[in-house]
Amino acid sequence: MKKVFAIILAAAMVFALGASAFADGAFKIGGTGPLTGGAAIYGNAAANGAAIAVEEINALGGIQFELKYEDDTHDAEKAINAYNTLKDWGMQISLGSVTSTPCVATASETYDDRIFAITPSASAVAVTEDKDNMFQMCFADPNQGSASAQYIMDKGLASKVAVIWKNDDVYSKGIYETFKAKAAELGLELVSDTTFADGNDTDFSVQVADAQANGAELIFLPMYYTPASLILAQADKIGYTPKFFGVDGMDGILTLEGFDTALAEGVMLLTPFNADATDEKTVSFVTKYQEKYGEIPNQFAADGYDCVYAYCQALTNAGCTPDMSAEEICDAMIEQFTTMTFNGITGDNMTWGTDGAVTKGPKGMVISNGAYVGMD
Amino acid sequence: MSFLYFLINGISLGSIYAIIALGYTMVYGISKMLNFAHGDVIMVGAYICFFSLTRFNLPPLVAVAAAMLVCMVLGMTIEKLAYKPLRQATSLAVLITAIGVSYLLQNLALLLFSPNVKVFPSIVGNGKISMGDIVVSHVTIVTIIVCIVIMVGMTLFTGRTKIGKAMRACSEDKAAAQLMGINVDATISVTFIIGSGLAAIAGVLLCSTYPTLVPTTGSMPGIKAFTAAVFGGIGSIPGAFLGGLLLGIIEIFAKAYISTQISDAIVFAVLIIVLLVKPTGLLGKKTREKV
């Protein structure tokens, strides 16, 4: 009996050794995101996209990754807890957080701990500000705001615009400010400028009426899709039909349960990813994502996917090995990301500045018959 | 867009607050407790109606009735399990329990209904009518009518019926009411049942007007309606009506004419001023606390 027990124990030890040897051979990537709660669509999409990339890269047999996502419910405090869990787990490189407010919190932690991070989608400037080891895969908010104004002007979509923004949200405010500045510069007339905040985000009768009364031809909505859906419904309620122009937070509006997609017909948004694109990489990603998760990936999924591939490229170039400490990897990554050019599914020839912001070309999309269609 | 448009929207929003405030005020009046779980009963009502409409394709009126029924049973259960054992406890203990029930309901909803936003289909369709240069949706009109009907109904109910009179008697003096042969426990139960039924209606109207539904949908309107109840004078039915309407109108006007950035601050500033001038609220009764 003792002998059998000893053999089992020995076998278990060998197995454990094998398992840990495998873990030692993989880079530990961690990220936080809203996997539950109102912003869960974003968090799950980014996590799923990253998981597909990890699976693909691991299957190639070269660099190995181990990915772990922790839930932060789009809350800064919970994000710190989630981050600490990841640190205890031994995270070497980070995917930051999916949404801006939590990411500002985790970014200062990764900065202090010297862990390199690239966020798929937290677009606020405050995320990367004054942090040499924090990068973004998505556009920074200022770029979204000014790019939107530029796009509206270039395409001649409207001359009088209204903007409704969320004044307690760093994401919304950041885009609003650069949009406003760029609009003034281009001579785009901002005729209505109204706000809302948490706890006051259901009644939009005043904001929409203000836009209508001032003759706005287009309403710019720098916000997430939940309040945006209410604004679309409110405009419909009073029979007001301006053009609507959103940013990446609008992505996901079509997946709202029970949402009448007719309300979103003609809504435009700037997004770097188009699931309808026909290039090989996008098609392969979209097919895999659909097989695995049963839905069409949004921009967040694509950003998550690209982050892991960017890491793969940077780690290979720098010759990093999984036994290196987070700090050593961090220095190598800062050097790589500021010098390399990356081709992903959210853009070709992406480069990063020392401020951590990405440079890539945005694509205009319009919602038509309940699906996103490229505008260019 | 005119004054009238904002006024109608304010009245519609205020009507919803008023119906919710009624639930707070009745429960407070009879058991001197603040039922903070009331806002979450609204949310449950809205979910039941949502699933009845979309999953089981029930006609709107049946769906509303189903929501009311479930909420009534829920209200009664909450009262029996959470509040009744604490009837003799300090008011602070009951208050904390109410907050606990509120969190319990929210988290159960997260678990059962998932956190994903659901878009609520309007129970009266998306029709609208134009009056001059303003457009008013059917939901807005229905909301205002339902609120008036409920207010008149509740006033008649508490004034004319036997149970209504028993409720008033209990709120005046429980011990004396018991001596007069009124079943105080049953009367309190009935109050909770009625309040929860009204919460279901409020939930349906709320989500028909502002069609997003999440497990926390009820909390902010619940707090604002509670404010409305205090504003109008807690414990008073006409007070709840007046407080709700005024709160809705002030909120919309503050947004329309002052600033969308600080509208909530204005709403609560008005509340503070009213309470400074008239601590019992607009229509509150002055009661002298015996020391």
Does A17 score more than 70 pLDDT? no
Nearest-10 crossing angle of helices A170-186, A100-113: 110
Winning range, highest mean pLDDT, from A265-279, A289-303, A347-361? A289-303
- Best of A192, A231, A237, A241 to mutate (most B CBs within 10 Å, chain B): A237
Q: What is the pLDDT of residue A184?
A: 92
CATH fold match for the domains A27-139+279-360 and A142-271: yes
pTM over 0.80: no
Name the minimum distance, in Å, from the CA of A233 to any CA of chain B.
8
Amino acid symbol at A347: G
A142-271 belongs to CATH 1.20.1740.10:
no
Question: Cβ contact (<8 Å) for A209 and B1?
Answer: yes
Name the minimum distance, in Å, from the CA of B214 to any CA of chain A.
8
Q: What is the pLDDT of residue B250?
A: 92
Q: What is the pLDDT of residue A8?
A: 63
Nearest to B119 among A195, A202, A257 (CB): A257
A27-139+279-360 belongs to CATH 3.30.300.130:
no
Under 8 Å CB-to-CB from B97, ≥6 apart: which residues?
B82, B83, B86
A151 close to A362: Cβ distance less than 8 angstroms: yes
Q: Which residues of A touch B252 (CB under 8 A)?
A: 203, 205-206
Residue from A345, A164, A181 nearest A272 by CA: A345
- Alpha-carbon distance of B190 to B202, in angstroms, equals 18
Q: Which residues of B touch A202 (CB under 8 A)?
A: 210, 212, 220-221
Does A13 score more than 60 pLDDT? no
Sign of CA dihedral B87, B93, B97, B98: positive
Per residue in A64-86, pLDDT tens? 999 999 999 888 999 999 999 99
Domain parsing of chain A, residue ranges:
27-139+279-360, 142-271
Mean pLDDT of chain A: 87
B3-277 belongs to CATH 1.10.3470:
yes
- Best of B9, B133, B260 to mutate (most A CBs within 10 Å, chain A): B260
Confidence of residue A18 (pLDDT cuts 50, 70, 90): very low
Domain parsing of chain B, residue ranges:
3-277
Question: Cβ contact (<8 Å) for B1 and A259?
Answer: no
Query: Mean pLDDT, 10 residues at a time, over chain B (291 residues)?
Result: 84 93 89 88 95 90 94 94 88 90 92 86 80 81 93 91 90 88 91 94 92 89 90 88 93 88 85 87 68 52
Please give the DSSP secondary-structure letter assigned to residue A257: B
Name the minimum distance, in Å, from the CA of B26 to any CA of chain A.
25
Q: Which residues of B touch A259 (CB under 8 A)?
A: 119
Does A199 score more than 90 pLDDT? no
Q: Which residues of A touch B225 (CB under 8 A)?
A: none
Residue matched to tokens 């709320």: B206
Q: What is the pLDDT of residue B248?
A: 93
Per residue in A173-190, pLDDT tens? 989 999 999 999 999 999
- Best of A44, A198, A201, A203 to mutate (most B CBs within 10 Å, chain B): A203
Q: What is the pLDDT of residue A7?
A: 62
Q: What is the mean pLDDT of residues A232-256?
A: 87
